[in-house]
Amino acid sequence: MSISFAALAQQTNYNLLIGTYTNTPAKSEGIYTYNFNTLTSSTKLKSIAKNVANPSFIAISPDKKFAYSVNETGSTSTVSAFKYNSVNGKLTFLNKVESEGADPCYITADNDNVIVANYSGGSLAVFKRKADGSLNTAALIIKHSGKSIDPKGRQQSAHVHMVKFTPDRKFLICNDLGEDQIYIYSYFPKSNKKTLSIKNVLKTTPGSGPRHITFSPNGKFAYLAHEFNGSITGYFYANGSLNKIQEIGTTPKEFEGRIDGADIHVSADGKFLYETNRGDANTISVFSILSTGILRFVETVSTLGKGPRNFSIDPSGKFLLVANQYTNDVVIFKRNKLTGKLTDSGKKIEVAAPVNLVFTK
């Protein structure tokens, strides 16, 4: 009996790591680790990694032994490495290195490398992992240098916004909001100075601001969220190539405020896609995904807070959590697995300036 109870406990309790901004009046203390129960959606604080400056985005190593965070502090930005204890949720600081570009806003990690997107610096940097999980100084820095047409001045220079491995792990997608371009790099994880080499560059609609991209679980489709107009572009994906199949909006035609599209994810069953908008919208939109990869609109609901940045579907698929940066809370929605629709669970986590939500075992 004890074995089955242990198995049940493993399946229903997960760690939820929350990356935050520590420099806001709300006074976040760093990276928070909560226990999340997938049966009840109840949460309990386990640990706080303190004295970490603006750890807005986090990545966990595939073996779950290490965690990495950006330290988004303008021209002094760094990348921090931690030992990660998944049992008690504690992060033990190992070291930090220069991010080699201002304001890193996304981070990803595999067994060999940690890669960051430097927003203001318009660059991406690759860091080799040491055996103990700590980081070497950057082995490779790639700086973009273009611009685009946004009249509000947000595209006067390159702004690298996301670095994400393709499902086959052979390529790295890099979205540049400032240039309205997607870079696709061939990935050579064991190489030192030539970890990445350019394969392809795709132009997006001028003035759209490509921000985050997500893939369907079967690896056949990709969906790109644009920050400035909140639109989603769907693509066929195969062997480092993206071919456009659809562009669809996420706000009513009559909407006139700022949209500020933020995050985008596909449910684990591949049936539904979700996208958040910030600005004056503060919404999350739901789409069903047809077998052809085409999106069909289901609903748009309020995120019940302001500034929804990152969001995450819990491992059970029954809940969707939204980090509302400006109302200092993570709202927990119930998710209907058959319809994809979201309803308020009535539960939320009060945490200062939450940005990034990462579930681990």
**pLDDT value at residue 2:** 46
What number is the average pLDDT over the span 103-124?
97
**pLDDT value at residue 7:** 52
Are the beta carbons of 186 and 130 closer than 8 angstroms?
Answer: no
Are the beta carbons of 64 and 360 closer than 8 angstroms?
Answer: yes
Residues 197, 203: Cα–Cα separation, whole Å: 18
**pLDDT value at residue 214:** 98
Residues 97, 16: Cα–Cα separation, whole Å: 25
What number is the average pLDDT over the span 203-227?
97
| CA nearest to 321, candidates 352, 284, 287 | 284
32 DSSP assignment: E
Question: Could you read off the pLDDT of 272-331 as tens digits, one per residue?
Answer: 999 999 999 999 999 999 999 999 999 999 999 999 999 999 999 999 999 999 999 999
What number is the average pLDDT over the span 93-97?
98
**pLDDT value at residue 6:** 52
Model confidence, pTM: 0.95
Of the candidate CATH numbers 2.130.10.10, 1.10.3720.10, 3.90.209.20, 3.40.50.2300, the domain formed by 2-360 belongs to: 2.130.10.10
User: For the residues of 138-177, what is the DSSP string, one character each?
Assistant: EEEEEE-------TTSTTSS--EEEEEE-TTSSEEEEEET
Residue 101: pLDDT over 60: yes
CA-to-CA dists, residue 225 to 180, 210, 244, angstroms: 12, 6, 13
**pLDDT value at residue 240:** 96
Are the beta carbons of 18 and 26 closer than 8 angstroms?
Answer: no
| CA nearest to 67, candidates 51, 49, 53 | 49
Are the beta carbons of 71 and 52 closer than 8 angstroms?
Answer: yes
Q: Is 217 helix (H, G, I), strand (E, B) or coil?
A: coil
Q: Is 5 helix (H, G, I), strand (E, B) or coil?
A: helix
Residue 253, phi-psi category: left (phi > 0), alpha (psi -120 to 50), beta (remainder)? alpha
Residue 10: pLDDT over 80: no
**Per-residue confidence band for 202, with pLDDT thresholds at 50, 70 and 90:** very high
What number is the average pLDDT over the span 67-94?
97
Residues 95, 133: Cα–Cα separation, whole Å: 9
Mean confidence (pLDDT) of the chain:
96
- Lowest-confidence region among 4-13, 134-143, 203-212, 313-322: 4-13
**pLDDT value at residue 1:** 41
Are the beta carbons of 361 and 36 closer than 8 angstroms?
Answer: no
Are the beta carbons of 301 and 331 closer than 8 angstroms?
Answer: no
Amino acid at 340: G
> Torsion angle of alpha carbons 347, 58, 356, 92, nearest 10°?
40
Question: Could you read off the pLDDT of 125-142 as tens digits, one per residue?
Answer: 999 999 999 999 999 999
Residues 355, 104: Cα–Cα separation, whole Å: 13
- The percentage of residues in the chain with a pLDDT greater than 70, rounded to a whole number, is 97
Residue 243: pLDDT over 50: yes
Q: Which two tokens stand for residue 301?
A: 């609901």
What number is the average pLDDT over the span 32-45?
97
Residue 281's Cβ-side half-sphere holds a number of Cα atoms within 13 Å equal to 28
